[in-house]
Chains A and B, each alone.
Chain A
Amino acid sequence: DAGVTQSPTHLIKTRGQHVTLRCSPISGHKSVSWYQQVLGQGPQFIFQYYEKEERGRGNFPDRFSARQFPNYSSELNVNALLLGDSALYLCASSMLAGGPNEQYFGPGTRLTVT
């Protein structure tokens, strides 16, 4: 079975630009979460979606937004990119939302903002 997939693998953008990152969850999983991982740090929670609705949001500015589609795939959008947005963006899926549900992580999208 395919795991969580993310695209693209790597991305280079310029300050002020916009970026869209994509995630496909494991088949049967209805919840998707997004994380930002800066080098040498742990993942920072950005969003959780379940059944196309936002269930949780971390401490990120409104430049960050996301959505989940009827097939449970998800997009993370970041507007007005800053140098500090350079990071590995991880997507994780789980069968249900929240709590003790195990999250399965994708390989991530490496975003570099110049």
Chain B
Amino acid sequence: GDSVTQMEGPVTLSEEAFLTINCTYTATGYPSLFWYVQYPGEGLQLLLKATKADDKGSNKGFEATYRKETTSFHLEKGSVQVSDSAVYFCALSDGTGNQFYFGTGTSLTVIP
């Protein structure tokens, strides 16, 4: 069946460091891919999405490119801030649009 695998954390970075959180997926058909973020004390919220191969989702300085050839959707940010400290979840909606799969989450802590 469909699934999402993301790099395990926790990840600790210094402010202004480069961030990559790896995410790979297994899916039949043409899934949509998402990154959700959960800030401390808050609910899950959508960070960015991509709906077809080679699409790039971007928001708040974060980017991820839907790579069908490598079945990946890695999250990147060029310069992280303390306020980016959160748990990040990679997710997919399958080709039917009626099933959803989340990764296990990666905790990011950014230190000043």
Contact = CB atoms under 8 A, between A and B. Distances in A.
A105 B44 contact: yes
B93 A98 contact: yes
Interface of B: 4, 32, 36, 43-46, 49, 51, 89, 91, 93, 96-105
B100 A48 contact: yes
Contact of B104 (A33, A41, A56, A107): A41
A25 interface: no
B32 A45 contact: no
Interchain residue pairs A-B with the least CB separation, the first 4: A98-B97, A56-B98, A99-B97, A42-B102
A35 B51 CA distance: 22
B98 A102 contact: no
Contacts of B97: 97-101
A45 B100 contact: yes
Contact of A42 (B46, B98, B99, B104): B104
A102 B112 CA distance: 32
* Chain B contact residues: helix, strand, loop or mixed: strand
A56 B94 CA distance: 11
A106 B44 CA distance: 8
Given A99-B51, A100-B32, A106 B43 contact: yes
A49 B103 CA distance: 22
A85 B53 CA distance: 37
A15 B45 CA distance: 32
A38 to B, nearest CB: 10
A83 B37 CA distance: 28
A26 B91 CA distance: 21
Contacts of A40: 104-105
